[in-house]
Amino acid sequence: MSAALVDALRQAIGAAHVLTGDGLEAYELDWRRRYHGRALAVARPASTEEVAAIVRLCAQHSASLVPQGGNTGLVGGSVPDGSRTQVVLSLRRMHRIREIDAANLTMTVDAGCVLQSVQEAAERAGLLFALSLAAEGSCTIGGNLATNAGGTQVLRYGNARELCLGLEVVTATGEIWHGLTGLRKDNTGYDLRDLFIGSEGTLGVITGATLKLHPRPLATMTALAAVGSLGQAVTLLGLAQSRLGAGLTGFELMGRFALSLVEHHFPTLPRPLGPAPWTVLLELSDGQGEAHASASIESVLEAAMDAGCVSDAVVAQSVLQSRELWHLRESIPLAQSQEGLNIKHDIALPVSRIPAFVDSTDASLLQKFPGVRLVNFGHLGDGNLHYNVQAPEGADAAQFLAHNEAAVNELVYDAVTAHGGSISAEHGIGALKRDELERRKSPVALDLMRAIKKALDPNGVMNPGRVI
């Protein structure tokens, strides 16, 4: 049966685009190197029609599919299991910019387009595609939508869901839903688009998307501010929002230990401010020009210093300096990876609850696991923290995780729940958090999710073992 399916796939999309055997690690190993499966085959279609043909063949042969974009996910949602019976459906060959409608402020693209390529295409048209995240040089639009990716500009523009107007999807039965509308108003029944966005490939395969564009700001201004506590960071956020309004497009938080890892592993990166308990990166996108942007962000920082919530600050004086400030923030995950294995938590909380959550959870972790190092950073402006736990210095990180990860997760997620938060903010559920979701999600919500899964994928073909 397996050989027959591989032969049928080769006939459908060409033998050169059906990969089998050894040497498939790029498709079988996740970005964190935590999940390593074995695929029956990797199918690399070049069109939506070829995707539909692959889905139909897999259904006929009772084989399950694992849709995959750039394979940059962090929860084990886009690699096969170890059974060597699953087909990885790689969309990397589907990378056309289909259309840019400048008057409608939309762009229609293939799902395999790399995010950075979409950003650059919008820029060439004099417009902005606002989704931005650290993996933008390799992640794809289909994956961004399948996980409802967040990133650094959610504060102003929203998650991937808010940046998508229409989808093209191959269903679990191999039919094609042509939903590539550029309409901002369309009240004609259930919003099918929102079913597939965030579904992590468990309901169908996103093959194309109509994306929302924005006018490019006339000026962008970036600043770094040192604050003494999380309460002061929240005060600074409120001050920036009241004075800058929708112009505040970024508000990133970095803990002292997180930045010390960057300094240790990337010592050549500029550090314009000295060590502080917390450092905040602010970004203003302004429609009135550079002088107005500079004056606006400096007035916020001056007011924050007068209020005692900022002890030091610096404003980027060039595009290069702005990139260097962002590079500090974006280097934290890489520095943490070089430091060794760690326990990652991608959590969301009401902004008002973040100081109390961090204070109490830090104390509980240090009491129960003496010496652990807390790597805390993230998107404070939208309430999303990457609250990660590194093994004690000098300890064997793999052994620490093996012995303590379950207990650390339980402590952190109990605290998240107690403070009205979510165990997954922007990374998704995948395989990593599936059992955790089962324990913490409302039974009514889980029943509704299972009903949707059963209705849209009755044979369990699409990415089984993920989400639910």
Asked which of 215, 241, 262 is the last residue of a domain, the reply is: 215
**Radius of gyration, alpha carbons of the chain:** 23
Q: What is the pLDDT of residues 156-171, one digit of tens each?
A: 999 999 999 999 999 9
Q: Under a CB-based contact definition with an 8 Å cutoff, are residues 17 and 52 in contact?
A: no
Instruction: State the residue range of the domain holding 141.
Output: 97-215
The enclosing H or E element of 238 equals: helix 230-244
Q: Are 261 and 325 in the same domain?
A: yes
Q: Are 103 and 211 in the same domain?
A: yes
Q: Are 209 and 223 in the same domain?
A: no
- For residue 1, pLDDT beyond 80: no
Rounded (5°) CA angle 93-95-101: 160
Q: What is the pLDDT of residues 125-137, one digit of tens each?
A: 999 999 999 899 9
Bridge partner list, 210: 108, 166
Q: What is the CATH number of the domain that holds 278?
A: 3.30.70.2190
Asked which of 38, 68, 90 is the last residue of a domain, the reply is: 90
Q: What is the pLDDT of residues 61-80, one digit of tens each?
A: 999 999 999 999 999 999 99
What's the pLDDT band for 32 if we cut at 50, 70, 90? confident
For residue 323, is it within any domain?
Answer: yes
Bridge partner list, 462: 65
What does the block give as tokens for 15?
A: 């033998």
- For residue 33, pLDDT beyond 90: no
φ and ψ at residue 283, rounded to 5 degrees: -130, 130
Q: Are 231 and 296 in the same domain?
A: yes
For residue 438, is it within any domain?
Answer: no
Q: Where are the beta strands (DSSP E) in 184-295?
A: 204-212, 214-215, 219-227, 248-255, 278-286
User: Measuring CA to CA, how many Å separate 87 from each of 72, 82, 257?
Assistant: 18, 12, 42
Q: What is the CATH number of the domain that holds 394?
A: 3.30.70.2740
For residue 350, is it within any domain?
Answer: yes
For residue 255, is it within any domain?
Answer: yes
The half-sphere exposure of 105 on its side-chain side, counting CA atoms within 13 A, is: 13
Q: What is the CATH number of the domain that holds 150?
A: 3.30.465.10
Number of domains, the chain = 4
Q: Where are the beta strands (DSSP E) in 86-171?
A: 87-90, 97-101, 106-110, 127-128, 164-171
Q: Are 120 and 205 in the same domain?
A: yes
Q: Are 190 and 115 in the same domain?
A: yes
Q: What is the pLDDT of residues 41-54, one digit of tens each?
A: 999 999 999 999 99
What is the average pLDDT across 272-282?
Answer: 96
Q: Are 175 and 242 in the same domain?
A: no
Give the pLDDT score at 265.
96
For residue 41, is it within any domain?
Answer: yes
Place of tokens 């498709």: 27
Q: How many Å apart are CA 357 and CA 343, to the nearest integer?
A: 18
Q: Are 187 and 265 in the same domain?
A: no
What does the block give as tokens for 169?
A: 């999807």
Give the pLDDT score at 319.
87
Q: Are 206 and 312 in the same domain?
A: no
Q: What is the CATH number of the domain that holds 79?
A: 3.30.43.10
Q: Are 73 and 103 in the same domain?
A: no
Q: Are 306 and 410 in the same domain?
A: no
Q: Under a CB-based contact definition with an 8 Å cutoff, are residues 55 and 63 in contact?
A: no
For the four alpha carbons of 152, 157, 159 and 160, in that order, the dihedral sign comes to negative
Asked which of 394, 418, 442 is the last residue of a domain, the reply is: 418
Q: 253: closest CA among 358, 373, 149?
A: 358
How many CB atoms are closer than 10 A to CB 140?
A: 29
Q: Are 211 and 246 in the same domain?
A: no
Q: How many Å apart are CA 71 and CA 79, to the nearest integer?
A: 8
Place of tokens 């960071």: 233
Give the pLDDT score at 294.
87
